[in-house]
Each structure stands twice: as structure tokens, then as C-alpha cells.
Amino acid sequence: MSFGSPYFTVPKFEYVKPVTLKEAIEFLSQHAEDTKVMAGGVGLLAFMKERLIDCKYVMDIKAIRELHELKYEKGRGLTIGAAVTLAELLEQPVLKEKYRALYDAVKNLSDPNLRNRSTLLGDLCEAIPWIDSPAPLMLFDAQVVAKSARGERKIKIHDFIKGAAENALEHDELAVSVLVPDPVPGAASRYIKFSRGTEFSIASVGALVVNRDNPAKRVVRLTYGAINVLPIEAFEAEKVFRQSKPINQLISEALAVVGRTVEPVTDVLGTAEYRRHLIQVQTAAILKELLGS
Amino acid sequence: MTHRVTYKVNGVTRTATIEDNELLLDVLRDRMGVKSVKAACWRGECGLCTALVNNKPVKTCLVLGVDADGSEIVTAEGLGGDELLSPLQKSFVDHGALQCGFCTPAFVLTAHHLLETNPDASEDEIKEYLSGVICRCGTYFQIVEAVKDAAKHYKKK
């Protein structure tokens, strides 16, 4: 039933469902250019309906047991397999306890029904500018684990998004998991996004604070999503907090540096000027919450 | 390529021969005649194609029919079991929680899953949990009232 519109149908392809990782990697090494990997399929099927993606094979990775790994190990951190749904991730108490910024992002990502299908790695691999996962993952220096017939490599989250809908994976590589290292003890983090209802983010900010009261050891990290093609970490603004000055003064200084160095763009969702305003408001709010002034 | 898929739909085993690119939504509606699963936006935004797949509410316009092979599926037709309507469905009727009724199956199924897992859900939790389904008639107030009222039937279990 298509009512005559292509947007209601999915173009033809061949469905492949490997049950082992080895099988999946072998298939990719042979058909890399013609294959799209599907986890939840929420993004992929929507893009295929819009004829933005056409491929010969769709490889469903949900039958691969290893990719459902969801495990926290002290010292090593949180491993989130490529087939773990956002709903399963939210059920992990450790997410809110230790990775609050990531929890904030996942809790407000799309809606509960979609979260029963969609995955964190799927969101990340889509690499479209308004996705929510990069900014919180950058705070924890997460890594994407990619496997291919040539071996395994870890890609730093800061290097993973390469452009609009472009990620750092080679065609024959399969992203198998995200590794989110254990945060430093005492680290507190948050993520705020601005969007209309459950729609795409227009601007988002993540922040992480360690040793709030000790300027010599204080670490403040600030990351931004959805304001430019690539996610941004505000390294210049982070340096401000190494000074021993009253917190309120540091926040004002940091906001000025963010205004100067963090560059938003104009697109269909909002203008650069609007986004510049939004990130000032969001940054002030998130820093006041975490630094408690 | 064609696939022979088997689902258990509302307790009854159903099979169909489908193409790779057929959506679960289309298989349910057009091949199995399950018409309470509504087709509207086709891109995961409105939520009207929601069905309980392996006891979780999912938007069937973004699921491949072949991917759902072997699944247990519950739709509004099957929610009441032997009764015509489940207590939650009756509550929707009692509260007038519908105008045109097009979104009602999706709201009922999503709310059913919420109350099964969290019968003490607060008003905010109910609103948040139902945020993936859209009612263009705007009967949200009555829907939340109906869900709150039906919660007692889930606590007894």
C-alpha cells in the first residue's frame, strides 16, 4: 500500500541476517560498497523511504549475540554493543549514576516507542549534525570499536564524525561497540538540548566537572552538538576554569570565550544567531547547575 | 527474494510470504488484515502504527516484516483477550479519550505497556511515555485521565 508515493515504500534490497560476528565481517569484506548495516533500522528505513540511501544488501546485525553486550566494569568503563537498544541502555542504573550527561541525552532522544528499537551506535553512525550522542560521549572520551577482516581498531569519539552523514568507518568496517571509560571519581556531568518536542535538536550542550572547589585540579569540559556540522569541544573556554577566581566570574569569562570561539551555523532548523543565543543560555544554565553558584 | 514469516498475532499463529522490503506495518494490515495498526506518517513520527512486538511498543512502519519473523505481536484487537475490551480500553471509552479514534489503538497499546511495567506512573511519567504518539484531535487531557484511572486494574495483578 503506497498511495502512489515512493515515500511510503522501501526500495528493493536483499536482507541478510548473519548470526556470528565472523560471518558479518566476511560479508562486509566482500560486499562493502553495496551493503548498509542495520541495527534498529529506525534511521536507515526512513532514509531509504526518502530515497536518500539505496543499497543492494541490508545487513541486520541483531542476531549477533556479541553485539548485545551491555556491561559496566570498574576501571574499564561501560561497553555498549551495537545492537543494544536505547531502552535497554536506560534500564542500566550505572548510566544515571556515573554517566549522567549520557543518561540525559538518551532519556530525551526521540521517544519511548522508538527507543525500543533505536541504538546509540546507530545514532552515532548516522552522523547527521543534529544527533544527540556525540556531545555527551565526548565528555567521557568514549571510543568506537570497529572490526573488519583487517583487524580491530578503536576510534576516538572526537575523530568519529567526519562530516554531514559521514563517519570515520571504512566501508568494510563494522562498528561493534562504544566504550565509555570510567569517569574520574567525583565527576559530575549534565546534558541539555533544545528542540521542539521530540524533534531534532537545534542546539545542545554537555558539561563535565571534576574538583569543583580546587582550582589547581579543577577540570571543566564543555561540548556542543547540533550547532554545526561537527560536534565541538570548547577547549579555550575550558581553560578559563583553571584560574582561582570566584566561580561566577569564571562562568562569565567562559561564556564570553564560548561566544568568541564556538561557531554555530545557519541551517533549516535555525539561524547561527539564534543558536549563538541558545548556547549562551544553555551553557550558563548547565555551568550554574554543576558549579553550584 | 521472498521469505516465509511466522508471527503470533493476538495469540494466533499467522504466516505470510513476503518480500525483503515489506514493512511489518504492511504485512499486518494488508497480508493479515490487522487494521487497528494505522498507517499515517510512515516515518516514525506519529506513532499510530504502534504494535506490541515481543511485549514492547514499537512503530511498525520502521520495522521490516522479515526482521520481525518469530515475534509475538499484540494489537488493539487482542488486548482484551476473551473480553471485547480490556479495562484500559473501557477507561478510554468512559473518559471520552478519543474523538476520531484513529490514534486510539496506538495510545492504548503504549499506555498498556507503561502500566504493565509501572502501574504507579505519575502524570508526568504518563505524558512522557505517551510522547511518541500524536493525537491530531487533541484529546490528550482525556487520554491521560483514562490512563490514570485504569492504573488500578494493573496494580491488582
Instruction: Work out the pLDDT band at A292, boundaries 50, 70, 90.
Output: confident
Alpha carbons within 13 angstroms on the beta-carbon side of residue A262 total 31
A36 touches chain B (CB under 8 A): no
pLDDT(A73) > 70: yes
Instruction: Tell me the per-residue pLDDT of A100-159, one tens digit each, with 9 for 90 and over.
Output: 999 999 999 989 999 999 999 999 999 999 999 999 999 999 999 999 999 999 999 999
Interface contact B67-A87, CB threshold 8 A: no
A106 touches chain B (CB under 8 A): no
Interface contact B62-A117, CB threshold 8 A: yes
Looking at the complex, report in whole angstroms how far the Cα of residue A66 sits from the nearest Cα belonging to chain B: 18
The matching CATH number, chosen from 1.10.630.10, 3.40.50.10800, 3.40.50.720, 1.10.150.120, for B87-155 is: 1.10.150.120
Write down the pLDDT at residue A15: 98
**Model-level pTM?**
0.95
Strand order in the sheet with A174-180: A70-73, A77-81, A174-180, A143-148, A151-156
Write the CB contacts of A198 (distance below 8 Å, at least 6 apart in sequence).
Answer: A110, A111, B131, B132
Helix H or strand E segment including A176: strand A174-180
The stretch B21-47 carries a mean pLDDT of 95
Helix H or strand E segment including B141: helix B140-155
The matching CATH number, chosen from 1.10.150.170, 1.10.274.10, 3.40.50.12160, 3.30.390.50, for A188-291 is: 3.30.390.50
Task: Return mean pLDDT, chain B.
Answer: 96
Are residues A194 and A174 in contact, defined by beta-carbon separation less than 8 angstroms?
A: no
Cα A146 from chain centre: 16
Instruction: Work out the pLDDT band at A200, boundaries 50, 70, 90.
Output: confident
Q: Which residues in chain B have their CB less than 8 angstroms from residue A91's CB?
A: none
Looking at the complex, report in whole angstroms how far the Cα of residue A265 sits from the nearest Cα belonging to chain B: 26
Q: Count CB neighbours of A150 within 10 A.
A: 11
Residue at B42: amino acid letter: W
Instruction: Work out the pLDDT band at B82, boundaries 50, 70, 90.
Output: confident
Task: Return mean pLDDT, chain A.
Answer: 94
The stretch B49-60 carries a mean pLDDT of 98
Write down the pLDDT at residue A4: 56
Q: Where are the domains of chain B?
A: 2-78, 87-155
Instruction: Work out the pLDDT band at A187, boundaries 50, 70, 90.
Output: very high
A10 touches chain B (CB under 8 A): yes
Instruction: Tell me the per-residue pLDDT of A15-65, one tens digit each, with 9 for 90 and over.
Output: 999 999 999 999 999 999 999 999 999 999 999 998 999 999 999 999 999
d(CA B90, CA A235): 57
User: Any idea which architecture A65-180 has in CATH?
Assistant: 2-Layer Sandwich (3.30)
pLDDT(A3) > 60: no
d(CA A59, CA A283): 40
User: Any idea which architecture A6-60 has in CATH?
Assistant: 2-Layer Sandwich (3.30)
pLDDT(B20) > 80: yes
d(CA A169, CA A194): 29
Strands A174-180 and A219-225: unpaired
ipTM for this prediction: 0.95
Write down the pLDDT at residue A37: 97
Write down the pLDDT at residue A1: 47
Strand order in the sheet with B56-59: B12-19, B2-9, B72-74, B50-53, B56-59
Are residues A134 and A231 in contact, defined by beta-carbon separation less than 8 angstroms?
A: yes
Write down the pLDDT at residue A196: 78
Q: Where are the domains of chain A?
A: 6-60, 65-180, 188-291
Q: What percent of chain B has pLDDT over 70?
A: 99
Specify the range with the lowest mean pLDDT, choosing from A198-202, A256-260, A272-276, B119-123. Answer: A198-202
d(CA A84, CA A219): 31
Radius of gyration from C-alpha coordinates of chain B: 15
d(CA A31, CA A186): 47
The matching CATH number, chosen from 3.10.20.30, 3.40.50.300, 3.40.640.10, 3.40.50.720, for B2-78 is: 3.10.20.30
Instruction: Tell me the per-residue pLDDT of B108-134, one tens digit each, with 9 for 90 and over.
Output: 999 999 999 999 999 999 999 999 999
B146 touches chain A (CB under 8 A): no
Q: Which residues in chain A have their CB less than 8 angstroms from residue B117's CB?
A: none
Q: Which residues in chain B have their CB less than 8 angstroms from residue A41's CB?
A: 62-64, 67
